[in-house]
Chains A and B, each alone.
Chain A
Amino acid sequence: MNAAAKTPEQSSSHLSILRFSTAGSVDDGKSTLIGRLLHDSGNVYEDHLAALEANAKKSGSKRVSLALLTDGLKAEREQGITIDVAYRYFATPRRRFILADSPGHVQYTRNMATGASTVDLTIVLVDARTGVIEQTKRHAFIAALLGVPRIVLAVNKMDLVDYSQDRFEEIVADFTEFSAKLGVREIKFIPVSALEGDNIVERGDRMPWYGGETVLEHLETVYIAGDQNLVDFRFPVQYVLNPNQNFRGYAGTVSSGVVRVGEEVIVLPSMKKSTVKAIVVAGRQMRGEQLSEASSRDAVVIQLEHQIDISRGDMIVRPKNLPRATAQFDAMLVWLGDAPMDTGTRYIVRHSTRESKAYISSIDYRIDIHTLGRIAAAPLVSNEIGRVSIAATSPLFVDSYQKNRSTGNFILIDPVTFLTVGAGMIIDRGRSDAPGAGEGDDEERNLHHESALVTAREREARAGRKAVTVWMTGLSGSGKSTIAKGVERNLFDDQLPVFFLDGDNLRVGLNKGLGFSREDRSENLRRAAEVAKLLNQAGITVICAFIAPYAEDRRRCQEIIGEDRFLEVHLSTPIEVCEKRDPHGLYQKARKGEIKNFTGVSDPYEIPEAPALRIDTGSSSLEKSVQEVVSLVLSRSAL
C-alpha cells in the first residue's frame, strides 16, 4: 500500500476525500485504466495480484490483466463485462479516493447516473483511434445531468496512434465543441495509454509534447473545496432526540450552508421562528461537545430556544433564505424501473428526509440518449431520461438542482414493489438550467444554457433590486399601452432601469411576418417573453402590453420569464367600454367582418384566474391605475 511514501503521520493528517467515477465501455480500456491507476500507485494488495497472476496462467495469457482487478461478481467475470456500480478505495499521501466504477453499456444509464450522483469528478474515456463518438457524448451528458462539476477526458490507447499529438488535439477540439453546451464547470484533457501506463501515474517518455498533469496528479490536486454550497442553509430534520425531559434536539445532517448558535431560524412547514440554542455532537469520551457552528455535511443535533412541534421531514432554514415550498415542480427524470412510467400511478416521492405521494402530472419531452436530441413526450421506459412535472400531495422544500445539489434531488418509489424507479433533478420552472432542459425545437436540441461569469444575483445586488416583468393582458382598448407607458415614465423617473415592450412594436421588427392565427399569436408571445427574460437578466424591468388572450400562452410566458419575476396584470375593462374607446377603429372593422379572429368579437379571451393585480380602467382613473402597478413593481422587485 504505497509503503515507501507513507508515514503514519501523513496517513492520519488532514486528507480530503475525492469521489470520482469513470465512464467508458470495456473497449475503451476503462477497467485497464482503473487497474493501472491502482497498481501503479501501489494500491493493489499482494494476494489480489497473486490471484490475478494465477488467473493469467490458467487462461494461458502472458500478461496479467489489470482489468480483472476491478471486475467484481463472478458471473460478470465469466462474461467479461462489468454490469453494476462497483466502489474502489485507494489512497496516496495527498488524498483518499473513492471510485464509483460505472459501466458504459447503452442499457445501463441508471448505473452511470447512480455512480455520478455523489462524485466530484468523472473520467470519461475515449479511444484515441475512434475519437469522440456518440457514447462519449452520452457519458459526458449524464455526468452533466447529474451535476458533476468536472470532467477529465482521458484519451486512451495513445500507443495505438503512435502517440500522435495531432490526433490528441483533434479529439480535444471535437470534445470542446460538444461540451461547450453541457455547462460542466471544468474539463481537463489527458492523453494516456492505460496498457503501457503513460500519463496514468508516471509520465513516461513517449509523449514529450504533453506538459500537463498525469491522471493521478490531477486527481490528487484538483480543487474541490469550493463545490459546497455554503450560502443556503438547509437542515432536513432526520430524527428527533428526546431522551429525557431536559433534552430535546433535532438530529440531522446539514445539507448545505452554515448555521451558528444564536442565529434566527425558521421551521418548515410550520413557518415558526426560533433561535439556535446549541449545536451538539458526541465527543470521543461520549460527552456532549458544544459547537459554535455547523456547516454542509456535518451530522449534528440542533437545539432551539423555543418549544416547537418538529418531526422528521421538517426543514430548518433561515427566515431570509427559504427553499421553494411546493407540491408541484419540474424535473429531469432518469427512469430506473423495469416497468415503464405510469402517469396514473401514485408513486412515493422521497426528497431529503421528507416523503409524499406524487403523480407524474406531465411529460414534456424525452431525451434521445443516442443523439441527445429531444423526442416526443411519452411515458419513460427503463434507462430513459425526460423532463417531467411532478404533482405531490403535500409540499416539499426544494431548490433547483443546479443551485443546490443536495436539496434539488429526489427519488420515486413504486407504491407496490417499493423499488426505486426514478431519480430526479429539480429544475426552476421555465429556466433551462439543466442539460437538455432548454427551450427550442429540434434545431436547437443540443443547445445548452451558457452560464456567464456575472450572475443575475450579482447584478441584482449591485442594482439593489430584482428586475421583474409586468405582463399586462386585456382586450384591445382596455388601456394596456397607456398604463404601461405611464408606469415606464414613473419608474424611469424613480431611477429604475425599465423598458416598455409593446406588441405592435415587436411585430414591426423581431416578429415581422407573424400573423394573427392561433399559432402565430403563440409564437409572437413566446418571442416577447424571451426578450423580456433577457432584459430581466440584464437587470432591466420590463412592462409588456399584449392582449394575450389564451391562459395557456400566458402560463408559458410565465414559465419562460420565471415564476418569481412574472407579474400578471389583468385589465378587466368591460368590452362595451373598450369598444366605445376603439382608438384604432378595430372593433368597427371586426364587427363588419373585415378583421378575422378579433379578440372579444370573433375570438375568445380567457380571463386570468389569479393575476397579481386586476384593474378596471372603466372605473379607475389612469393616474390611480399607474400608481397601483408602480407599487406592485416596487414591492415585488425588492430584494
Chain B
Amino acid sequence: MHLPNHLEQLEAESIYIMREVAAQFERPVLMYSVGKDSSCLLRLAQKAFYPGKIPFTALHIDTSYKFPEMYEFRDRMAREVGLNLIVHRNEAALKDDANPYALGTQRCCALLKTGALLEALSMHEFDAAIGGARREEERSRAKERVFSFRDKHGQWDPRSQRPELWNLYNGKLAKGESMRVFPLSNWTEQDIWNYILLEQIPIVPLYYAAKRRVVVRGDMLIPVMDSDPRTYQGQRVEEVLCRFRSLGCYHCTGAVRSDADSLEKIVAEMTQVKTSERATRIIDFDTDGSMEIKKREGYF
C-alpha cells in the first residue's frame, strides 16, 4: 500500500521529527487532545518506533467540558495502543466552577487549558511536548518553528526562537526550559484527512455527519448537551444533519452542516471547503490576534 508522493514525504518528515525528539530529550511527552490531528500524531509515533513501543508518555489536558464521545474514544485508544496516558485538569479552577459563561472564553481557556498544561508540564518535569498544531491552521502559527522554544515560565517569545535550517533541530535546553515540538507543521487539513482515509486511522465519531441537536445561530451550529442546561436554556433546539470539523470543548465548538458520514465523503467535502477550520471554533472570535496572545502565554 503506497501513499501518494506528497503524503509519503510529509510522513517521512514527521517520523524524522518524532525520532529526533526521542533522541534529544530526556522526558518527552506526547500531547493527546483526542482530535483528528492527535489521531495522526499517534499513528506517526507508532510508525516511527515500530516494532518498538512509543517511547513517550501521553498527556491529555482535560477541561472537563469535552464531549462524552471524546472521553470514550480517548480511553479506547489508550487501551488499544497501550499508551501510558496521564490526564490532567486544573482542579483548583474547576472547584471554583471555571466556565466560559462566567469568565468569557479567553479567561476560561487561560485557566483550564493553558494553566492546566503548564501545571502538568512542570509537575512531571517534561522537557519536550509534542503537539499536533499545523502552520496552516492560523496566521500566527505560520511562523512557528518545528522545535518551538519556551522559557522557564513556559512562555513563547517570537524573538527568541532558534533559526531552523535544513533538518537540523536544536533541542538543547537549560534546566527548566522546554520545547514544544510540532511534527505536523507542514501538513494541511486536507493532508490530515487524506492520511486518515488512506491509513484507516480511527477518529472520534463526532467527525462524521449525523443528526444532532443544536442551537442555530447564524452560520453557527452550537451543540446541545443534555447534561449542561446552559447549552440550550431559553433557546430553540433543532435537529440538524451536521458534523464537527474540529473538536474542542462543547461550549466553544461549532458544528457545520454536512452529510459526510464516511471518510470518503469527508475527504470529498474538504476539497470543496471555503472557510478555514478555525472558523468553527467560537473561541477565536474574541479579538483579532487572540491566538497569538494565548500562544505568548503558553497555550499550545
Contact = CB atoms under 8 A, between A and B. Distances in A.
Given A45-B274, A74-B292, A251-B19, A423 B172 contact: no
A76 to B, nearest CB: 9
B46 A238 contact: no
Contacts of B53: 243
A627 interface: no
Contacts of B22: 239
B12 A297 contact: yes
Interface string A401-424: 000011001110100001110010
Interface stretch (B26-34, B62-70, B210-218, B263-271): B263-271
Contacts of B140: 72-74
B6 A15 contact: yes
A582 interface: no
Interface stretch (B94-102, B106-114, B194-202, B224-232): B194-202
Given A15-B4, A89-B188, A113-B165, A238 B51 contact: no
Interface string A1-41: 10100111001111111000000000000000000000000
A133 interface: no
A516 interface: no
B139 interface: yes
Interface string B258-285: 0000001001101111111001000000
Contacts of B173: 418
Task: Point out which of A1, A8, A48, A243 has the most chain B C-beta atoms below 10 A from its C-beta.
Answer: A8
A392 interface: no
Nearest to A99: B142
Contacts of A16: 5-6
A284 B272 CA distance: 27
A280 B12 CA distance: 13
Interface residues of B, number: 65
A84 B9 contact: no
B267 A8 contact: yes
Interface string B33-62: 000000000000011111111000000000
A586 B260 CA distance: 97
Contacts of B51: 241, 243, 247, 280, 282, 288
Interface of A: 1, 3, 6-8, 11-17, 45-48, 51, 72-74, 77, 84-89, 91, 96, 98, 110-111, 113-114, 117-118, 238-239, 241-243, 247, 251-253, 280-284, 286, 288, 297-299, 301, 312, 336, 348, 350, 353, 405-406, 409-411, 413, 418-420, 423
5 contacts: A46-B275, A114-B164, A239-B49, A253-B167, A286-B46
Interface of B: 1, 4-6, 9-13, 15-16, 19-20, 22-23, 46-53, 135-136, 139-140, 142-143, 158, 161-168, 170, 172-174, 185-186, 188, 190, 194, 197-200, 264, 267-268, 270-276, 279, 288-289, 292
Given A45-B274, A110-B163, A418-B172, 5 more contacts: A8-B267, A17-B5, A243-B51, A284-B198, A299-B13
